[in-house]
Structures are given as C-alpha cells and as structure tokens.
Amino acid sequence: MALNTLVATLLCTIVLPIFLFLVAVKLWEVYLIRGRDPSCRAPLPPGSMGLPFIGETLQLLLQRRKFLRMKRRKYGCIYRTHLFGNPTVRVMGANNVRQILLGEHKLVAVQWPASVRSILGSDTLSNMHGTQHKNKKKAIMRAFSRDALEHYIPVIQDEVRSAVAEWLEKDSYVLVYPEMKRLMFRIAMRILLGFDPDQIKTDEQELVEAFEEMIKNLFSLPVDVPFSGLYRGLKARNLIHSKIEENIQKKIDGGDEVKHRDALQQLIDISRNSDEPFSMQAIKESATELLFGGHETTASTATSLVMFLGLNPDAVNKLRQELHQQEELGVDLLGQNVNIEVLEQLKYTGCVIKETLRINPPVPGGFRVVLKTFQLNGYQIPKGWTVIYSICDTHDVAEVFPNKEDFNPERFMDKSSEDSSRFNYIPFGGGTRMCVGKEFAKVVLKVVLIELTLRCNWTLSNGPPTMKTGPTVYPVDNLPTVFSSYTQRPSNTPPILKAMKL
C-alpha cells in the first residue's frame, strides 16, 4: 500500500506536471505552425518555437551569441523561432538578406519589438514609414552633410584629445568600453543635440546613468509593471526626455539666433515651417534616437578598434606609417587643419574601421514585419510574422572573405573586392533604411584612430576578451587597457604599403 501511495505521489507531483508541460509546448508549436499561409505550398523554415507565450526570448536574452550560434549550426541560414512575443524568422547570408533589405514597403516593413517601440517611441525615424519617414530622414541627413561634418571635426578632436589625455595620466588601467561610451555621449550631446559643454558637465553623470538603464532594458519582455525591465527603461527614458526638453525649449526661444544647425535644430526648423508641426514628444523621441544611434553604436566600434589593434601591433605600425606620411606632406594631424579631404586620404585607416565592423558589427541585425506572404530560398515567410535579418551572421557566412577569423584590413584595399561584397558586408544595414549617420560615425572613428595611434601605445590587460551583445557588441570585462605615451616621429618614413596600391 505504501509503495502504491509513493508511486501515485510521484506521478502526481513530478511525472504528470512534466507531461502536461510537454503537451503544452507541443500544442503551442502546432498552434503557431498553423499560422502559415495555406495559399503558399512552400514549407515553413526549420526551427522551434520554445515555451508557450514567451517562446525563446529568455534563452536569447540570457545566452545571446551562444544561442544564435547554436541555432545557426542546427538549422542553417533561415530558421523559425518565437521572440519578443512574435513568431519570427531569422535570416542570414547575402542572397537572403538582399531580398529583405530591398523588399522594404513591398514585402516587409520595419517593426522593432514592442519594448523598443515603447521606450524609443513611435515618432522615431526607425519606427516611421512612407512619407513621414522620408521627410524626417531628409531633415536629419542635412545634419550629416559634407559641410556639416567639416564643421564637427574640431569639436570631435577637442573631446577625443581631452579623453586621451585623461587616459594617459592614469597610473593603472583604463576601462575602455565605459570610457568610450562617455566620450561618444559627450560628442553626440554637443554635435547632434547642440548641448553646450558646461551643460554637459552638469548633467553628464545623471544622463549617462539614465541612458545606460534605458539601453539595458531596450530589449525586454513587453510587461510594464514595477521593477520589470520595461518599467525601468521607461523611467530612465522619461528622465532623459526631461533634460532634452529643456534644451529644445532653449532652441525654440532662441529662434534665428542659433548659429549652427545641428540635427535637433534641423527638426525644429522643419517643424516650424510645416503645416503639421511636430509635437514636443515627437521631437524628444527623435532626439533620444539620435543619442542612441550617435553614441552607443560608435562607442561599441571604437572599443573594438582598441581591442583589435591591441591584439595586432602590425596593423598599428601600418596605421602610423600612413599617418606619418600625411605629416610629411605638411598635414598637422594633431593640430587644427584636419578636414574631410585629409580624412578621405587615410585609406588604410578606413580599412581598419571596415575590418573592425566586419568582425564586430555593433548592431547584430534589424527587425521587419512581413506585409505579405513570400518565399525565401524555398521557405514560406508568412504574413504578420517578424523577420530578423542578421548582420553578424551574414558577415560570418560570407564566402567573399577568406580566413574570416583573421583581422586583416588589407582585404578591403582592393576596390573590386569591396564591390563584390555588397550584402555580404552590411554593418550599416542597407536599402532605404541604411544608417543615416554612417558618414558621421566614420569621421568620429578616424579622428579617434589618429589621436590614439599618434599619442599612445596601449596594452590589453586581460588579452582577448569575451564579447557579448546587449543590445550592441561589447567586451564583458569592459576591456581594461594600459595606455602610455607614443613619441616616435620618424624623419624619413618609407612609402606606405606600396604593394597595397594606396
């Protein structure tokens, strides 16, 4: 009798709940797969849909790259899953991604997860469509014109030199990632939003902490209850909005007295002259998006630059050769006569940035919603599902990059090689949604490389770090690095990299 009771207890407390759970998971899978379009005979991509309602979101948030690598090994370049509340198809590879990026407004439309839309807002460039998107993009692009970028260079140099000087004064190591985030935040606040330096000093600590909290919770479960990720993200966002609103009001009150038209000023000017002016909320949301795009992603890439160059001293030497050659031509790279034309002459420097973006693209991918069912590489992509095109995995599987694990900037020296890599190389996205600030980012990163390589030597304290994504790529140890002064100035620099056809 006692044995029968023990067996019954075991069945009720352990076996039955497990059985019911497995049945629920299977029914969930069947329910979602029934969401396929019956008018299309193509099968759904392979994959799994995870747990009821939450799908595989928790696995992605906890495991990040490990989860994505496991999925790619198991299912290939197109697979189905369930993330952030939606049935999802994840896509990688040039031919597959090409169809997604060029299918904007026809096959797919941009749609980020609900938590991102809630925190950043519906009036941001990344969440707009059609004429609204076109008009706002046009306004913001004015702030990234060639003339505007020329105007920004002295401000960028000022901030980078100040940061580098602080790093050189430290006796111990510098945590590069948080330092780069602070540096890029100050640059974005001054250039994109028009904050003056004194105001940044006053509000910097509070704003940086709020921005960190907001970014940390961008991709979270869409549940707005106290202490949830979304709740904390919205609270931080509201603090940022309050500071930005003060600056917007100053710009509005200043009227035509404003001397320089930064990106935020461009939006205010267009709003003034529009039949349907932007609301204050819409301008605040756009400013917050500019801050995210203008500093978080650039800080990620700048950190990766320090890491890869710290691990590849030969690349540092080649960088210095190129920079010293410019100095011999009379260009004072550490002075005030750096301009866009000078930066464009730095071909190898540009290739170092391209190679860094190939291996560690700061943004791992983009989100789209399917407007109508279509076929992709023999699989059905059903209407209403989410599509994530992967940037990092597309770079990983690209056959146009031999020995892709190696840091090899020279691979981009051949122009024909770069042309053949379209859609194999997409660090800034593509199509109508390509990053509007990509030229701004390149200018900032080139100035950073000039200042670092001509002023500093550096050593990574922990060697190659483990990289994580959340939401941009970063080293888990924050990249502790020791900086020391570099003073060598060869008087007779050999012609740089002749074999590379500079």
Residues belonging to the binding site for heme are: 435
Q: Where are the alpha helices (DSSP H) in 329-470?
A: 340-345, 347-359, 391-397, 415-419, 438-455
CB 107 within 8 A of CB 269: no
Task: Report the C-alpha gap between 192 and 263 in whole angstroms.
Answer: 5
Task: Report the C-alpha gap between 188 and 297 in whole angstroms.
Answer: 11
Task: Report the C-alpha gap between 252 and 249 in whole angstroms.
Answer: 5
Q: Where are the alpha helices (DSSP H) in 217-346?
A: 229-254, 263-273, 280-291, 297-311, 313-328, 340-345
Task: Report the C-alpha gap between 376 and 100 in whole angstroms.
Answer: 9
The β-bridge partners of 387 are: 89, 368
Task: Report the C-alpha gap between 390 and 91 in whole angstroms.
Answer: 6
CB atoms within 10 A of CB 115: 23
Tokens of 248: 């917007």
CB 375 within 8 A of CB 40: yes
Report CA 79 to chain centroid distance, whole Å: 23
The β-bridge partners of 473 are: 469
DSSP output for 346-378: -HHHHHHHHHHHHHS-SS-EEEEEESS-EEETT
CB atoms within 10 A of CB 94: 20
CB 297 within 8 A of CB 474: no
Phi, psi angles (nearest 5°) of residue 60? -65, -45
CB 102 within 8 A of CB 206: no
The one-letter amino acid at 240: I
The one-letter amino acid at 294: G
Residue 437 DSSP SS3: coil
Of 456, 464, 390, give the one whose Cα is nearest residue 426: 390
Task: Report the C-alpha gap between 428 and 363 in whole angstroms.
Answer: 8
CB 267 within 8 A of CB 258: no
Of 299, 323, 322, give the one whose Cα is nearest residue 445: 299
Binding site listing? 435
